[in-house]
Structure 1
């Protein structure tokens, strides 16, 4: 039996509410993740200053060099 237009509207409204809740949750998770990244960055900066050690690597990644070496071996 086909659904009436009112039933379709009710189902769509329920889907919209569910999607709005999911969106709000994902936005909150993104906000928390951004704050964590900022805090971790601050912690690394403080540790580097306090203990005079390099925690972050300053050399560029050598991924492209490795892939070229692997190609030559084949």
Structure 2
């Protein structure tokens, strides 16, 4: 896991406080409470929005991975 915690990725945005749009992927949603040094957790709405954004992002990543896999399969035929 060679991700220093910028952008979207496995260790994303650790300890940078709320909503820093740093690195590769622009974060719009607030961060998870465990990466957050502000004293209050997310509200329900924020959490829902955060999860939606994450699922969209993961879906995009999956799509691009699947596309890459198909390209490689075509080449190897």
* Structure with greater helix share of residues: 1
Structure of greater relative contact order (alpha carbons < 8 Å, 6+ residues apart): 2
